[in-house]
Amino acid sequence: MKNTVLLITYIFQIIAVIIFLSGIIPTVGGLVWWRYVHNWAQSAEQVDGTVIKLVERSTEGGKTYSPVVEFSDSLGQRHEYHSSTSSYPPRHSVGDKVPMLYDRDNPKSATIHHWFYLYFGPGICFSIGIVSIFLALILFVAAWLVAHRATRLAK
């Protein structure tokens, strides 16, 4: 009985270590991604843009809308930014003024200056990693407690 319990707890500890290690990747990845976005946003040029249209996208759950924003760079050239993020209801309406960030050297590299557009992806990645690490720690502690109790009862 004692050997069976110890074997099961050993297996759970191995699973916990695997979950823990697999949680490190998205946690570190989310932090690196956040840092990259933060540095890019700090060096980007900020201008005001105007939502010129909403692109309708069909999904399994219905229709969502993503904004197309027109903005002018520091040289006065106009550019269009097509957001890859869509929502229902739409976050913006046609004619809305929105703050934009763009790379001076590459105005095609642009985004709406809002935490959601900048940090949602890194935040989700980081959160998935943290939840995995937390669950692995709970599993590891629970397995250790069971093994500790089994050895105490065997004495």
pLDDT tens digits along 8-43 = 888 888 999 999 999 999 999 999 999 999 999 999
pLDDT tens digits along 128-141 = 999 999 999 999 99
Residue 90's closest CA among 63, 122, 127? Answer: 63
Residue percentage of the chain with pLDDT more than 70: 97
Helix ranges, the chain (H): 2-43, 115-154
Q: pTM score, two decimals?
A: 0.80
pLDDT tens digits along 90-111 = 999 999 999 999 999 999 999 9
Identify the residue whose tokens are 């629970």: 142
With the C-alpha atoms ordered 72, 73, 76, 82, is the resulting torsion angle positive or negative? negative
Amino acid, res. 21: L
